[in-house]
């Protein structure tokens, strides 16, 4: 019975030694093709301002023109990992078993010295900005991008958002082919679409299908902070490991989604694939470019989808909308006058019948933005204006977490930069510098060493080092464990006779 259960998997997530990848594509224009204007930065188009094209699909649904226009702007994202194979496998085992099913064992045999992975990306600006999935580049020590024309570039991670499984890369290049955002709000169930990528290292593969559903929540981005956001476009276009981060486009060549996941018993395509809608992706990308962190707007409600059971229990007069179970203190919803028991039916005039639809509509905005919320209360309808807030309950811009450096025994202990954390696959730690002029100079440590553990206690921030060493001062020696930025592990005793 267990073997028959459906398993949902992120596509091609840092598959060690797997070598699965993604291709490219380009904006379609009516023949003759005129040179595109160079876009300095990807433009935000995540509402009704998104691209609309007058191009008419040829009679007979010929996919040739769209495929030819799109493939040059889908790239192959190649990653390397500094972690030793055993450690890397320990981190990835649960995912690999879920995603690859019976194929898991073939990924166990990895070469010594770290792992490799691959996925896809979509060029969204002529000067080298690329959008991909977060799981494609997560914890990578090195990222390379291979274009459809075989040019290869080192890529810099601009920013990533695990809550939506999106990331932005940058390569040093100009005049690249790129794709413009389409309006995923206009996508209709039954509409033809193309998926472009490099599944199983089959470069520049194009598959066709239709939109099967919208606003799907498949529970693949569940997070401890409950901030995972899913409102996928479901298609039956063939998507396999290696398509992650690739393009889902309409027949005009406009980007309407970023391919991210499949539902499968084996890890290979079985008829269901899922893409992040461009309306959400474009907003996330713009936030990462401007702020390095996503400005997540929250309405501040606990919600439940209305079904027949809930309607019977609560004596509701409708099966539409989203039921408000509760409101957070000092939330935008509370300030707007919403109450427990209300049924939210629309956000800015857009119908919301599922939790994922409501979350997607709200997530397109930033803290401080105003939205109109339509609701049912008893037998009456109402509309109110809510000013969205961030996770701290304010309307301010959220900045990257910055932890102040501290001095200890003459050395400087500071937070580990986010890029080093991602590169080394760490969840925290403390970087030490200024050792030569400190009381720690006899330990053998070198500047740049990242302390991750002292004895059996994990170190997540600079103050942990001071607190742990102070507590151990009268208890004998301790063993400091950590890693250097190049991936070398090291152990240093402190206080031992």
Q: Angle at which helices 278-291 and 355-363 pack, to 10 degrees? A: 40
Strands (E), 147-246: 152-154, 156-161, 166-170, 192-197, 205-216, 232-235
Please list the pLDDT of the chain residue by residue as tens digits (497 residues).
Answer: 443 334 445 554 333 343 333 333 333 334 444 444 545 555 554 554 555 556 565 555 678 889 999 999 999 999 987 644 334 343 333 333 333 333 333 333 333 345 788 899 999 999 999 999 999 998 888 899 999 999 999 999 999 999 999 999 999 999 999 999 999 999 999 999 999 998 988 888 999 999 999 999 998 887 666 788 999 999 999 999 999 999 999 999 999 999 999 888 888 888 899 999 999 999 999 999 999 889 999 999 999 999 999 999 999 989 999 999 999 888 999 999 999 999 999 999 999 999 999 999 999 999 999 999 999 998 899 999 999 999 888 898 887 655 568 888 889 998 887 767 767 778 788 999 998 888 888 888 999 999 999 988 889 888 888 888 887 766 667 889 999 988 889 999 887 55
Q: Which residues pair with 407 in a beta bridge?
A: 412
Give Cα 329 distance to the centre of its chain. 28
pLDDT of residue 265: 82
Output the six-digit token pair for 286. 């713009």
Q: Residue 133 corresponds to which tokens in the numbers above?
A: 């999935």
What contacts 24+ positions apart, CB below 8 Å, involve 311-319? 314/341, 316/343, 317/376, 317/379, 318/343, 318/376
At residue 59, the pLDDT reads: 55
CA distance 385 to 391: 19
Kindly state the tokens that stand for 21. Answer: 């990848």
Q: Are 147 and 172 in contact (CB under 8 A)?
A: no
- Could you tell me how far CA 368 lies from the centroid of its own chain? 23
Q: Which among 165, 274, 270, 163 has a CA at the least distance from the CA of 216? A: 274
Predicted pLDDT at 109 = 31
The catalytic residue among 138, 161, 165, 286 is: 165
The C-alpha atoms of residue 376 and residue 373 are separated, in whole angstroms, by 10
Pairing of strands 129-132, 142-146: unpaired
Phi-psi region of 325 (alpha: psi -120 to 50; beta: other; left: phi over 0): alpha
Run of H or E residues at 423: helix 418-424
Cα 90 from chain centroid (whole Å): 22
The residues, any chain, with a CB within 8 Å of residue 420's CB and separated by 6 or more, are 426, 431, 450, 485
Catalytic residue of the set 231, 244, 273, 282: 244
Catalytic residue among 135, 185, 331, 342: 135
Q: What SS3 state is found at 25?
A: coil
d(CA 359, CA 215): 10
Rounded-to-integer distance, Cα 131 and Cα 204, Å: 17
C-alpha 446: how far from its chain's center? 35
User: Strand runs (DSSP E) across 217-279, as ranges?
Assistant: 232-235, 247-249, 255-264, 272-277
- Please state which CATH class domain 301-387 belongs to: mainly beta
Unique residue bearing structure tokens 């890529």 = 155
Domain residue limits, the chain: 2-291, 301-387, 406-494
**3-state secondary structure at position 176:** coil
d(Cα 51, Cα 185) in Å, to the nearest integer? 11
Give the CATH number of domain 406-494; options: 3.40.50.10610, 1.10.3720.10, 2.30.42.10, 1.10.3370.10.
2.30.42.10
Reply yes or no on whether 165 is catalytic.
Answer: yes
241: tokens are: 């490991």
Say what the pLDDT of residue 96 is.
Answer: 34
Q: Which one, of 103, 112, 392, lies nearest residue 240 by Cα? A: 103
The SS3 assignment for 46 reads coil
> What is the torsional sign of CA 311, 312, 316, 319?
positive
Catalytic: 135?
yes
SS3 content of the chain, % helix, strand, coil (to 5): 20, 30, 50
pLDDT in the model for residue 192: 94
What pLDDT shows up at residue 393?
86
Q: Does domain 2-291 have CATH number 2.40.10.120?
A: yes
Beta strands in 312-454 (DSSP E): 322-327, 343-347, 350-351, 370-377, 380-387, 406-408, 411-415, 430-433, 449-454
**H helices then E strands: how many in the chain?**
9, 27
For strands 192-197 and 272-277, give the pairing: unpaired
Which residue in 154, 82, 94, 168 sits closest to 125, CA to CA?
Answer: 168
Domains 2-291 and 406-494 share a fold: no
Tokens of 307: 């079904």
Chain center to CA of 312? 38
Q: Are 469 and 408 in contact (CB under 8 A)?
A: yes
CB 456 within 8 A of CB 481: no
């Amino acid at each position: 019975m267990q073997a028959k259960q459906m398993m949902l998997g992120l596509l091609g997530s840092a598959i060690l030694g797997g070598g699965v990848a993604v291709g490219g594509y380009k904006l379609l224009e009516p023949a003759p093709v005129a040179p595109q204007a160079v876009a300095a930065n990807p433009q935000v188009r995540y509402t009704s301002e998104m691209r609309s094209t007058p191009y008419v699909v040829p009679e007979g649904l010929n996919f040739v023109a769209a495929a030819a226009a799109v493939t040059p702007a889908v790239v192959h994202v190649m990653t390397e990992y500094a972690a030793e194979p055993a450690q890397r496998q320990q981190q990835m085992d649960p995912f690999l078993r879920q995603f690859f099913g019976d194929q898991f064992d073939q990924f166990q045999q990895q070469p010594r010295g770290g792992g490799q992975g691959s996925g896809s990306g979509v060029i969204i600006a002529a000067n080298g900005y690329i959008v991909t999935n977060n799981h494609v580049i997560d914890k990578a020590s090195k990222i390379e991008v291979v274009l459809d024309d075989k040019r290869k570039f080192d890529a810099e991670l601009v920013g990533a958002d695990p809550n939506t499984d999106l990331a932005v890369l940058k390569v040093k290049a100009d005049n690249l082919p790129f794709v413009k955002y389409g309006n995923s709000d206009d996508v209709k169930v039954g509409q033809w679409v193309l998926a472009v990528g490099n599944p199983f290292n089959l470069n520049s593969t194009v598959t066709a299908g239709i939109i099967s559903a919208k606003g799907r929540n498949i529970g693949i981005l569940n997070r401890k902070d409950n901030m995972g956001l899913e409102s996928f476009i479901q298609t039956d276009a063939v998507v396999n490991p290696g398509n992650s981060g690739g393009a889902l486009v309409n027949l005009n060549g406009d980007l309407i989604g970023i391919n991210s996941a499949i539902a499968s018993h084996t890890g290979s395509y079985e008829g269901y694939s899922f893409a992040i809608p461009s309306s959400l992706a474009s907003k996330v990308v713009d936030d990462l470019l401007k702020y390095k962190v996503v400005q997540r707007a929250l309405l501040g409600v606990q919600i439940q989808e209305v079904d027949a059971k809930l309607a019977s229990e609560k004596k509701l007069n409708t099966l539409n909308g989203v039921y408000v179970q509760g409101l957070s203190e000092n939330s935008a919803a509370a300030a707007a006058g919403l109450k427990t028991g209300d049924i939210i039916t629309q956000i800015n005039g857009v119908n919301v019948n599922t939790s994922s639809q409501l979350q997607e509509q709200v997530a397109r905005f930033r803290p401080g933005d105003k939205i109109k919320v339509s609701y049912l209360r008893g037998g009456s309808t109402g509309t109110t204006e809510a000013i969205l807030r961030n996770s701290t309950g304010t309307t301010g811009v959220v900045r990257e977490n910055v932890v102040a450096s501290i001095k200890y025994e003459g050395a400087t202990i500071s937070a580990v930069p986010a890029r080093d954390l991602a590169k080394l696959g760490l969840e925290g730690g403390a970087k030490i510098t200024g050792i030569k002029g400190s009381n720690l100079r006899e330990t053998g440590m070198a500047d740049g060493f990242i302390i991750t553990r002292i004895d059996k206690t994990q170190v997540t921030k600079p103050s942990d080092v001071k607190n742990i060493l102070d507590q151990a001062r009268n208890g004998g020696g301790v063993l400091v464990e950590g890693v250097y930025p190049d991936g070398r592990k090291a152990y240093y005793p402190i206080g031992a006779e």
